Amino acid sequence: MPLSFRCETCRRSIRVPDGSEGKLTRCPDCFSILLVPFQSPSQPGFKDNKPTELEESEDPLGIAGKYESRWEPDYSPSTSTETAAANHYSPPGANPAPNSTPSNNPFADHKEPLYSSEAVASNDQSFDELDNIDHVSAARSCRTVATIAGGLMVICGLMTALIFLGVLANLLKMTFGMSQDLETILKLAGELAMSFAHVATIVFLNNARTTRNFNLARLGFIMAMIPIFNLTWCVVFPLPIWGLIVLHRPEVRWTFENHWERVTE
């Protein structure tokens, strides 16, 4: 005679073959692992203490009898019943009850979402930005930036060479004793400072020409508009402004930020 008992999780009636007492079985509805109870010798079969209800196969819509939620937990009649029920129907952000026990049902409702909507939105935004990049326009703009930076580097290089000639002339004057006054020494120090400033401008502009570091490239164009870093600033000042405008385009900035990834590939 088959044994009949109810699942502790979903209250479904389960039937197992005779002689399965003490063995483990799985609920076909909620897949909970259950222990088949032992029957008392005086009882011919397992009787449920609750009123007789129709089986689920006989009443699949649950219309007959008193409605009872299959997923509603059974609280023992105690002083904490109201607290447990309140915590069960609390909002998702509320803290769970301290005495609540985890359910064995693997399909129980999760209090937290399995994924973050913010993370998905940010990833979608990054992919959209990548898709919206016009690589042809980016390559054309990068060539424009490289051309402007190369022209400014040539101009700064010529000025650096002229400054070094002035430094050499002042050194010869001081060596042969033609002029050793304070004015010549200050002029020599100023020429050395301007020569190093022009060299620094050339180094920073090289980052714009080779599409390497965005911040250093921007600093190079800014330095090209300052007199001490570029003595020809009054003649070529439209070029650094043009370079900064093109440099701050989204596709050009994206190319600078992904330069090292392209190099490693």
Give the per-residue pLDDT at 66.
Answer: 52
Give the per-residue pLDDT at 156.
Answer: 93
Give the per-residue pLDDT at 179.
Answer: 64
Residue by residue, DSSP assigns 11-52 as: --EEEE-TT-TT-EEE-TTT--EEEPPPPPTT-SS---SSPP
Give the per-residue pLDDT at 71.
Answer: 55
Instruction: Please report, for the chain, the start and end positions of each structural domain, with discontinuous segments joined by +.
Output: 1-89, 138-264
Nearest 5°: CA angle at 159, between 157 and 160? 60
- pTM higher than 0.95, yes or no? no
Give SS3 for 156. Answer: helix
Q: How confident is the model at residue 162 (pLDDT cuts 50, 70, 90)?
A: very high
Give the per-residue pLDDT at 125.
Answer: 46
Q: Which residue has the higher pLDDT, 265 or 70?
A: 70
Query: Checking phi first, is residue 136 left (phi over 0); if not, alpha (psi -120 to 50) or beta?
Result: alpha
Give SS3 for 68. Answer: coil
Q: How confident is the model at residue 169 (pLDDT cuts 50, 70, 90)?
A: confident
Count of all residues that appear for the chain in the document: 265
Average pLDDT for 204-227: 91
Give the per-residue pLDDT at 86.
Answer: 47
Give the per-residue pLDDT at 121.
Answer: 43
Give the per-residue pLDDT at 133.
Answer: 62
Residue 81's φ and ψ, nearest 5 degrees, are -65, -45
The string of pLDDT tens digits covering residues 105-145 is 656 555 555 444 444 444 444 444 545 567 788 888 889 99
Rounded Cα distance between 28 and 47, Å, is 20
Mean per-residue pLDDT over the chain, rounded: 72
Token digits for 55? 């089986």
Strands (E), the chain: 3-6, 13-16, 24-26, 33-35
The string of pLDDT tens digits covering residues 41-63 is 444 444 444 445 555 555 555 55
